[in-house]
Every structure is written in C-alpha cells, then in structure tokens.
Amino acid sequence: MPEEIAAGIYRIPVPLVGNPLKELNAYLLKGEDGNLLIDTGFRQPACREALFAGLRELGIRRGETEVLLTHLHSDHSGLAPEAAGEQTIYISEVDRLSLDDRAYRDRYWNTMEQRFREEGFPRHLMANMNETNPARSMAPPAGGHYLGLADGQILEKGGCRIQCLLMPGHTPGQMCYWLPERGILFTGDHVLFDITPNITFWPILPDALGSYLESLKKIRVFEPELTLPGHRKSGDLKTRVDQLLCHHQRRLEEALNVVKAHPGRGAYELAGHMTWKIRASSWADFPVAQKWFAVGECMSHLDHLTALGQIRREAADGKAVYYAI
C-alpha cells in the first residue's frame, strides 16, 4: 500500500522475495508537471505486482511516469523500462553505460569475473552465476530511454527541484537526490539505517571503499529534515554516517589481522576467516550469491588497505595473494 510520507511524495514498498534486503523503498513524486518514480525493484513477478499495484492505486499506469534511478543495481533498476515505457529513465552518466550499453555490460562482467577468479573464487561456483546472482538474472533487459545525469545537475520533475549528488562507492555512479527547498534527501543505498551497504570491487573504481568513505564525508554536511533510504527505515543522517565510518574502520582492522594471520592467501580464502551476518554454519555453506557479495566486500577492504600501504597484493599466473607490510 502506498504511503504519503510528505506532500506529494509517496513510498511504495516493493518486496524482494528471497533476498536479505527484504524490501525496496520505491518513491513516487506527483506534481502538476508530471510524475517521477525513484527506483523500481527487481525484474521479478513479486516486485512487478507490488510496484504496479501501488502505482495504480495512485492513479498511474505503466508508461505514465518518468523514472529516476539512484544507481544501477537490479533491485533498484530492474523494472525501470517497464515502468517508464517511452518516457525517460534518468541515472548518473557513470552508471548509465552498465544499463544502456550491452557491450559495455558484457566487458564489465568479464573483467569482474576475471578478478574474482584471480582471488580464488571457485570456477564451479561461478558457472551458474547468471542464474544465482540477482545482479544479472533480475537486471533490466536491453532497451529503455536512458539519460545520464552529472554531479550537481538540477532536475525540475514531479513538482520538485532536485539536485543530483554523485556519491561513488556502493556503485561507481551511485547518486543521492537533494530537494533543497523541502529539506528532503533520497540516499539510495549510499546511506542505509538498518543495514550496512555492500561495498565491492568495481573495475572503474581502483579503491571503491576509499571512494565510499570520501562520499560519506561529503553527504554528512547536509542537514535534511527527512532522509529517505532505498531500504527499510529512516534515521538521523549524521549519526548514521558516523556509525558507518566506524564500522568500516573496524572491518579494515579485521581484514588486516586476517591477512597477518593467513599470509599468501587470496580474497576468497581470507573472506572465509572474516565475520559475516549470514545464517550459515560455515563458509562452505554460504549461499553462492551471498558468498559473491562477501568476497567482493573483502576485496574492497583489501584494496583500501593496499592503497593505504598496509598490505601488498601479488599476482602471478592468474592468482592473487596478500601480505601485510
């Protein structure tokens, strides 16, 4: 059921069946100049049914709203072409290519998989990644009218003046959207209040975690009256940013200690020695999709430790290993 959370702004809860995130917050901005839908949910039946039922209740059919995406992940972008129809889908120019350019998307996945193989991710687990990884299986299909956005760009949509804020880290082109006249900030997955955003390796971000930490400091200067995240509940922005900064400092210390205790290992093995809030009896029993996210998060911390000069990465014969300095 849609919920009006501010004048002309509605939250549509979209269930993410079988995913630990549980639910996506899609937001609809209704204005005299048209409608704007922020994020959509996976390209799967449960998301499709909930999203379009919510839009219908608000008097909007498919193709009667433009779409504004916070970032490329499929739980946010999967239904964008269906929702927008012939209308525009806005997303940061950085993330646009991953949705709008099939050749670019294929090159990205090839590069990503090569890095995971170097880090020791078993080939037999990667063999069915197209089916088990929602980033691939539930992503939007080719097609749709995408328009890239630049950092600082202003949109006048849905009855609101919206400032686009590029906050790389969670994805290379993650954007937050600031409504300065209303004191409302949409954070996507840059800042979540109940869970910690996944930060992974990205081919075009040599130090994704470093970028994310800098982006957290940038968003901290804003003083919104209402902060609207991509998942679950809202909260105080500055308090949560400080918590996230402390969290990653602890994780960096843990990753460094794991490298010291297990030198000469790749990220796949090292991730198995780190702590994770996953219901599994052992690293071997992790669901494959969650193991992919865990190894990616481990890699982002190893990359940042490498950038800080605290560890070194050695790669030879298609295998990467780490040592403390």
Give pLDDT tens digits for 63-72.
999 999 999 9
| Cα within 13 Å of Cα(215), Cβ side | 25
CA dihedral for 303, 309, 314, 315, sign (positive or negative): positive
Structure letter (DSSP) for residue 265: B
Q: Which helix (H) or strand (E) holds 148?
A: strand 145-149
Band of the pLDDT at 33, cuts 50, 70, 90?
confident
Residue 260 pLDDT > 70:
yes
20 or 132, higher pLDDT:
20
Q: Rounded distance, CA 125 to CA 139, Å?
A: 20
Summarize pLDDT for 148-158 with one digit per residue, the tens.
999 999 999 99
Which helix (H) or strand (E) covers residue 113, if one does? helix 102-118
Q: What is the mean pLDDT of residues 5-30?
A: 94
Q: State how far Cα 224 lies from the chain centre.
A: 21
For 169-179, the pLDDT digits (tens) are 999 999 999 99
The pLDDT score that the predictor gives to residue 129 is 67
* pLDDT reading at 208 higher than 70: yes
Per-residue tokens: 247: 């969290």
**pLDDT higher than 70, residue 14:** yes
- Rounded to the nearest 5 degrees, what angle is found at the Cα of 201, between the Cα atoms of 322 and 274? 55
- Domain architecture of the chain: domains with CATH: 3-237 (3.60.15.10)
**Where would I find the H helices in 58-100?**
74-77, 80-84, 93-100
Confidence (pLDDT) at 130: 60
Q: Are 188 and 175 in contact (CB under 8 A)?
A: yes
DSSP β-ladder status, 9-15 and 3-6: antiparallel
Give the model's pLDDT for residue 132: 64
Reported as a single tens digit per residue, the pLDDT across 97-148 is 999 988 888 898 899 999 999 999 998 888 776 666 767 777 888 788 999 9
